[in-house]
């Protein structure tokens, strides 16, 4: 049975094993690259990640930045830097930002070597929740198809060390997700972006929720994409107007809510509606 959007709890067993794997191998690496979705930089972080990683040097990778509002990404980068993290905006699929990431890592390596008498390969770990682009980043950094990638969350399996062209060593680990969503909004945002399996969701409700958010935060983009006169007074009204424009109609002139929901979710995830950031950085960032 599909879950409602206020009752999302998707925690495959391998993710619990991954958290234990990260704890076990953390002492073997010099730095961690934490991959987040630039559209939802808070919701796409494991709430236990700070506790798990502790004081280990870390880089926050705002991935899929090509899909996010550029002003929002700049604000988030400033906010994370204020928290003491190095930050890079990137698109792992196209390779944008990879050179910036490597420069940061190489600087960390020089600082480590300067403080150590024994030189050994600089080792890193990449972590992130499902579907934020972690495997695509690993493939870009290694220059080969080292990690499985796919549109469905949770396709990476197992553990492997990968040697990069610059001599660094990278530990691949599957994406991790928490067993319970402490903030329901975080679960909804992850579902919007495809990090929760669509198969367990009530898609018409999820699509209507996304339409409501976009109508509130980005009405002009929604109006332009779906050729609307204006957004409706309610998300349902907007959804029905969009369905009429796109021909999502069943026999008897009934609205095909499943079809319009899937359409708007797919177009949002592909960036066809526009560059959108669903979470804004705290005031003052």
Pinpoint the alpha helices (H) of 115-246.
134-142, 184-192, 203-217, 219-226, 235-246
What are the Cα distances from residue 2, in Å, to 6, 126, 202, 211? 12, 31, 5, 20
* Arithmetic mean of pLDDT, 213-229: 97
Distant-in-sequence, close-in-space partners of 215: CB < 8 Å, separation ≥ 6: 222, 231, 232, 235, 238
Determine the average pLDDT of the residues in 161-165.
87
Q: Do β-strands 86-89 and 58-63 pair in parallel, antiparallel, or remain unpaired?
A: parallel
* Mean per-residue pLDDT, 161-172: 87
Largest CA distance in the chain: 78
Mean pLDDT, rounded, for 151-160:
50
1 confidence band (pLDDT: 50, 70, 90): very low
Per-residue model confidence as pLDDT tens digits over 35-50? 999 999 999 998 888 8
15-24, 37-46, 162-171, 259-268: range with lowest mean pLDDT: 15-24
pLDDT digits (tens, 9 = 90+) for 7-38: 565 555 666 677 777 888 888 899 999 999 99
Q: Cα Rg for the chain, rounded, in angstroms?
A: 20
Helices within 83-232 (DSSP H only)? 98-114, 134-142, 184-192, 203-217, 219-226
Nearest 10 degrees: Cα torsion 125, 130, 135, 137:
-70
Characterise 199 by phi-psi region: left (phi > 0), alpha (psi -120 to 50), beta (else): alpha
**Where, residue-wise, is CATH 1.10.1580.10 in the chain?**
202-269
Which of 124-133, 205-214, 221-230 comes out lowest in average pLDDT?
124-133
202-269, CATH topology level = Conserved Hypothetical Protein Ylqf; Chain: A; domain 2 (1.10.1580)
Percent of the chain whose pLDDT exceeds 70: 84
Q: Which residue has the higher pLDDT, 4 or 263?
A: 263
All CATH 3.40.50.300 domain ranges of the chain, comma separated, are 13-172
pLDDT for the residue numbered 180: 59
**What is residue 114's predicted lDDT score, i.e. its pLDDT?**
87
Instruction: Specify the pLDDT at position 161.
Output: 82
Q: How far apart are CA 73 and CA 77, in angstroms?
A: 6
Please give the average per-residue pLDDT across 59-84, as a whole number. Answer: 95
* Per CATH, domain 13-172 is 3.40.50.1370: no
- Four-point Cα dihedral 81, 126, 88, 37, nearest 10: -90
Average per-residue pLDDT for the chain: 86
């Amino acid at each position: 049975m599909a879950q409602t959007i206020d009752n999302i709890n998707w925690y495959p067993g391998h993710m619990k094993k991954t958290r234990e794997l990260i704890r076990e191998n953390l002492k073997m690496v010099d730095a961690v690259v934490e991959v987040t979705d630039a559209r939802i930089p808070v919701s796409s972080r494991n709430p236990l990640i700070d506790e798990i990683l502790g004081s280990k040097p870390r880089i926050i990778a705002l991935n899929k930045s090509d899909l996010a509002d550029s002003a929002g990404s700049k604000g988030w980068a400033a906010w994370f830097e204020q928290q003491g993290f190095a930050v890079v905006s990137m698109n792992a699929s196209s390779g944008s930002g990879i050179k910036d990431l490597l420069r940061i890592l190489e600087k960390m390596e020089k600082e480590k070597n300067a403080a150590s008498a024994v030189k050994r390969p600089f080792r890193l770990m990449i972590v992130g929740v499902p579907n934020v682009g972690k495997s695509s980043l690993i493939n870009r950094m290694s220059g080969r198809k080292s990690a499985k990638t796919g549109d469905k969350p949770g396709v990476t399996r197992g553990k492997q060390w990968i040697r990069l062209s610059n001599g660094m060593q990278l530990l691949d680990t599957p994406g991790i997700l928490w067993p319970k969503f402490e903030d329901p909004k975080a679960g909804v945002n992850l579902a919007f972006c495809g990090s929760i399996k669509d198969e367990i969701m009530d898609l018409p409700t999820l699509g209507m929720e996304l339409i409501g958010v976009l109508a509130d935060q980005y009405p002009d983009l929604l109006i332009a994409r779906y050729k609307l006169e204006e957004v409706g007074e309610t998300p349902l009204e907007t959804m029905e107007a969009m369905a009429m424009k796109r021909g999502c109609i069943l026999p008897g002139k009934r609205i095909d809510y499943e079809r319009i929901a899937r359409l708007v979710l797919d177009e949002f995830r592909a960036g066809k509606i526009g560059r959108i950031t669903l979470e804004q950085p705290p005031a003052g960032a």
